[in-house]
Amino acid sequence: MTDLGVEPLPTPTDYGDFWGAALDEARRHPLRLRCTSVDAGLSAIEVVDVSFAGADGRPVSGWLRLPRHRSAPLPAVVHANGYGAGRLDAIDDLAWSAAGFAHLVVAAHGQGGGSTGHLLEGITTPERSYYRGVFVDAARAVDALRSLDGIDPSRIAVIGNSQGGGIALGVGALVPDLVAVLAQAPFLTHAPAALRRATAGPWLELRAYLAEHPERADRVARTLAYVDGVTSARHASAPGWISAGLDDGVCPVETARSAASAYAGPVSLREWPGAGHEAGGPADVRCALAVLRTRFGSGSGRCG
Residue 127: inside a domain: yes
How many structural domains does the chain have? 1
123 forms beta bridges with none
**pTM of structure:** 0.96
Residue 94: inside a domain: yes
Residue 140: inside a domain: yes
Residue 134: inside a domain: yes
Catalytic residue among 3, 137, 248, 284: 248
> Domain range holding 191?
15-295
Residue 9: inside a domain: no
pLDDT at 98: 96
Handedness of CA 106, 110, 116, 121 (dihedral sign): negative
**Annotation marks residue 248 as catalytic:** yes
Count CB-CB contacts under 10 A for residue 300.
10
- pLDDT, one tens digit for every residue, the chain (304 residues): 346 778 999 999 999 999 999 999 999 999 999 999 999 999 999 999 999 999 999 999 999 999 999 989 999 999 999 999 999 999 999 999 999 999 999 999 999 988 889 999 999 999 999 999 999 999 999 999 999 999 999 999 999 999 999 999 999 999 999 999 999 999 999 999 999 999 999 999 999 999 999 999 999 999 999 999 999 999 999 999 999 999 999 999 999 999 999 999 999 999 999 999 999 999 999 999 999 999 999 766 666 5
pLDDT at 1: 36
Radius of gyration, CA atoms only, the chain: 18
Residue 304: inside a domain: no
pLDDT at 302: 65
Alpha-carbon torsion, ordered 126, 167, 55, 178, to 10 deg:
-120
What CATH number is associated with residue 27?
3.40.50.1820
Residue 5: inside a domain: no
CA distance 124 to 140: 25
pLDDT at 49: 98
Catalytic residue among 162, 232, 243, 258: 162
**Annotation marks residue 235 as catalytic:** no
**Listed residue (104, 53, 108) closest to 78, CA to CA:** 104
* Distance, C-alpha 188 to centroid of its chain: 10
Catalytic residue among 118, 190, 235, 277: 277
The answer for residues whose C-beta is within 8 angstroms of residue 60's C-beta and 6 or more apart is 51, 52, 53, 54, 106, 107, 109, 137, 140, 141
Residue 3: inside a domain: no
